Amino acid sequence: MDELDTPPPRLLHEIITPGDGSVVVVLSGELDLATTQRLNAAVQDAIASVSTCLVVDVERLEFADSSAIALWVNWSNRVPRIEIRNPRLMVRRVIEMMGLAEVLNPS
């Protein structure tokens, strides 16, 4: 795991590469304007290597604001498909209300 914001680390991320051309980015903590910039820089290479699907596991993400949504939309433009996995209701509703369900594919 990589600390993105110290102290205390407000956002942690982990990159998993299953080997089928997809990449899983697991996020926990809070994703807002301050943490999105560092996260984006940290996962650049992993996203560039996606050939099928980018899975963003946000089950343990406690907070996501509009800049988090903007970041995911930005990622979605760089991969064939993006999937926001296990969003909490809060995040899911933001995605749905912004009309982004078909872009970000929350599951």
Partner 1 sequence: MIEPAVTTVDDEPTPDVAGEPVPQRLRAARRSYNVVVMVLVVGALVTAGLALVSAHLASSNEQHLLNLRSKEVASALTAALPDVQTPLGAAVALVDIDGANVPKFSQFVAPYVGPGRNFVSISIWRAGHLNQGPVAVVGEQPELTSATGGAAAILRAAAKRPGLTVRGLLHATQPRIAYAYSGTRTGPFIVEGEQALAASRYTKLPANSAYSNVDVAVYIAKTPTMHRLLLSTVRRLPLPGRHATTEVAFGSETLTVVVSARQPLGGTLPERLPWVILIVGLLLTIGAGALTVRLIAGRRGAQALAAENNRLYAEQRGIAQSLQHALLPEDLPKIAGLRLAARYEAGAPGVDIGGDWYDLMQLGADRLLLVIGDVSGRGIRAATTMASLRFAIQYAAKTEPPESFLPKLSSLRSLRENKQLATVLCVVVEPKAHTVSVTSAGHLPPVMVHDGQSELLLPDVGLPIGVDQSATYTATTFNVPDGATLLGFTDGLVERHHETLDDGLARLCRVAAEVNGELEAMMAQILEQVRGTESADDTAIAGIQWTN
Nearer to partner 1, 26 or 71 (CB): 71
Tell me if 33 contacts partner 1 by CB under 8 A: yes
- One of 59, 74, 80, 107 touching partner 1 (CB under 8 A): 74
User: Is residue 58 part of the contact set for partner 1 (CB under 8 A)?
Assistant: no
**91, two tokens:** 């995040």
Near partner 1 by CB under 8 A: residue from 49, 63, 83, 85 = 63
Q: Which is nearer to partner 1, 19 or 99 (CB)?
A: 99
Q: Output phi, psi for 92, to 5 deg.
A: -60, -45
Residue 62 sits in the site that holds partner 1 (CB under 8 A): yes
How many Å from the N-terminal Cα to the C-terminal Cα in the chain?
24
**Stretch binding partner 1 (CB under 8 A), from 2-10, 13-21, 46-54, 91-99:** 91-99
Burial class (CB in 10 A: 0-12, 13-18, 19+), 61: buried
Render the burial of 66-87: b for 16+ CB within 10 Å, e for the rest: eebbebbeebbeebeebbbebb
**Binding stretches for partner 1 (CB under 8 A):** 33, 62-63, 65-67, 69-71, 73-74, 76, 89-90, 93-94, 97-100, 103
